Structure 1
């Protein structure tokens, strides 16, 4: 089988991970009294409704073609914090919903890998070898699904807007600090991608990939037993 088959399978696993991530944001916000996501049709599992041209298509494809770990983001689910009884708590719960969903998906798929591995010689060293059997492909898909969910979880926990980690910050800020935070929040995505592009040139290594190395891969080994 061509390496392209592996890469296409990996890209396919990215779609349900990111869709379920976004739907969980909208669902938790809905349970907190905010009907915005539901009214705009964003509680749907239809991937088309969640596509962001850059974050869902261009960024994953660029990483995919370069051989780097695939990650990205979907179009943010619209929420209206005005419906929350407690703004800070509501923002935190809504923000953590996506990463929590990714963690749950990674755990379930990782444990399935552990269960299926003894049924065949499907692992060599720290890599999953599909061996071109139906069971092998299932194990490989589950292994990568666990990996991409962990990547999405830790990527989104970075506390820079519009990533989910920024929604946790308000609970730690005073009213005055929160007002100042909202003033610079709109520039968060520019700061993040500026740092993503410039820091590797300045430091000589990629901080985001080092971050994944100390967060994603130890947990992936714990969940799957491979490594």
Structure 2
């Protein structure tokens, strides 16, 4: 058990809540890509069975294992054929942005539910202290992780959504040069992820920003509903 605690991102006690969060976050993220691609005229993902909220079709085993160990992983990317869009660049931006925005929305929903549960005393009324702690842990992980995924996926490096958005925004000559240099950009991305010094100055701050965004929405909902006294 100590060995597992040493290699996993989250302690074993919190690991189930992280896994539940990832199942929801990755599934909704990929579904959002597939849904908007299909809505804009590209049925590729739907025909391949990817326009679904079934987690099994979206998960990549190695990506999940790496996520648990290194804090970085991935789901199976949804295939998108932009040639099927009537306005490829504009619709491509929407399809790419749909994934990160779905995580942003999940983070807001998580913050809202947590605020209501705490503000109304629903969690405090639970006599089982372990269950109380489990609920707090789950929402803390759920909110932070979804806002982190929102920020992380907007990094303008391949294979992330932020790069695809930048690619669609860029003028054609710039886009051609980006495509030529894409393999090197992927290499840069891997260096940023796996070299501790680079990761500490790029990826690590995203966790703090994710926590700040979550805290902001909790305070917003506290003021909106007139709750006080727990935050």
Range of TM-score over shorter length:
0.7 to 0.9
Q: 5+ unaligned residues in a row in structure 2: which ranges?
A: 6-10, 220-229
Report the CA distance between 1:197 and its aligned residue.
2.1
What's the CA shift string for 1:77-104, capped at 9, x where partnerless? 0010001112211221011001111111
Q: 5+ unaligned residues in a row in structure 1: which ranges?
A: 64-69, 123-129
Name the residue aligned to 2:23.
15
Is the CA contact (8 Å cut-off) linking 1:156 and 1:165 kept in structure 2? yes
SS of the residue 1:33 aligns to:
coil
Aligned in 2, Cα 1:45/1:204: closer, same or farther, shift over 3 Å?
closer
Distance 2:141 2:92 in 1: 30
TM-score w.r.t. the length of structure 1 is 0.82
Runs of 4+ in 1 over 6 A off after TM superposition: none
Name the residue aligned to 1:209.
204
Report the CA distance between 1:71 and its aligned residue.
4.8
Name the residue aligned to 1:126.
none
Q: How many residues align?
A: 208
Aligned in 2, Cα 1:204/1:169: closer, same or farther, shift over 3 Å?
closer
TM-score w.r.t. the length of structure 2 is 0.80
Name the residue aligned to 2:33.
25
Is the CA contact (8 Å cut-off) linking 1:71 and 1:152 kept in structure 2? no
SS of the residue 1:182 aligns to:
helix
Greater mean alpha carbon deviation, residues 215-224 or residues 158-167: 215-224
Instruction: Name the Cα RMSD after superposition.
Output: 2.4
Name the residue aligned to 1:153.
150
What's the CA shift string for 1:99-144, capped at 9, x where partnerless? 111111110110111111131676xxxxxxx9313x5533432332
